[in-house]
Amino acid sequence: MNIQAVEIVRDQNTARRNVSCRLCGSRLRHTLVDLGMSPPCESFLRAEQLDQMELYYPLNVLVCDRCYLVQLKEYVSPETIFSEYAYFSSFSTSWVAHAKAYCGAITERLGLGADSFAVELASNDGYLLQHFLPLGVPVLGVEPAANVARAAVEKGVPTRVDFFGVRLALQMVAEGLRADLIIGNNVLAQVPDLNDFVAGIKILLKPEGVVTLEFPHVERLMTENQFDTIYHEHFSYFSLLTIDLMAARHGLRLIDVEELPT
């Protein structure tokens, strides 16, 4: 039997009182749910690591009483989580089918064509952007995990290995790139600096461009007891109210909402 040493990173009450909302900056004073301590969920141990000390971090979910963003503190950096990622979106055939249907529908709705440019943020292995290629729509994926980005390139999907934000958006604009469509599927929850991310979207988007975001609704998390979706990779949990406030904060506005079965 292996008895594993565990190093615990505690969230002291004194530190918690000084935590600010990652969206609006207000002091966070309310806990939605406290699930105790847990190691990062995507940390698959190698055989030689089984007898080594493993870090445990708090899963204390806070809620802002100003913008109502539900959130975890950033205990684990995105670089640690996403630089080498274990999840490939194409493993799910139903998700790929959903992505294909989306590409056809949005191409028709926005009138996309050879003169358009679509960018997906956290594009993973090209599961979605590959479906724009036969439609003649130029695309670019932005994906921080080099291992899954390689899979996208093998599908013929141009992919830039980087984290998205203002820095990269300005760099892309300087290269003459502006997007008619920016796609963010299940990525917002994984972004610790929301304001930098959304400000980058505003910079990269053409004046009449459209951004589409898919995200789990926090109401479903609560009403359906989906507490297994709370882990350190998910920094935030969104309602439509918070999304609207976030968009307005950066000069964007909501034009449509659709509830999806996915």
3-state secondary structure of 169: helix
Please give the Cα distance from 169 to 165 (Å, whole number): 6
Helices and strands (H and E) in the chain: how many: 8, 10
Question: Tokens in use for 138?
Answer: 């130029």
Domains and CATH numbers, the chain: 1-76+217-249 (no CATH), 89-214 (3.40.50.150)
- pLDDT tens, the chain, 262 aa long: 333 444 434 444 434 457 999 999 999 999 999 999 988 876 777 888 888 888 888 999 999 999 999 999 887 777 666 656 667 888 889 999 999 999 999 999 999 999 999 999 999 999 999 999 999 999 999 999 999 999 999 999 999 999 999 999 999 999 999 999 999 999 999 999 999 999 999 999 999 999 999 999 999 999 999 999 998 889 999 999 999 999 999 999 999 999 988 7
pTM: 0.88
Q: CA 55, CA 2: separation in Å to the nearest integer?
A: 16
Nearest to 215 by CA among 195, 244, 180, 193: 244
Beta bridge mates, 37: 58
> CB-based contacts of 9: which residues, under 8 Å, 6+ apart?
55, 56, 57, 58, 75
Pairing verdict, β 54-63 and 70-71: antiparallel
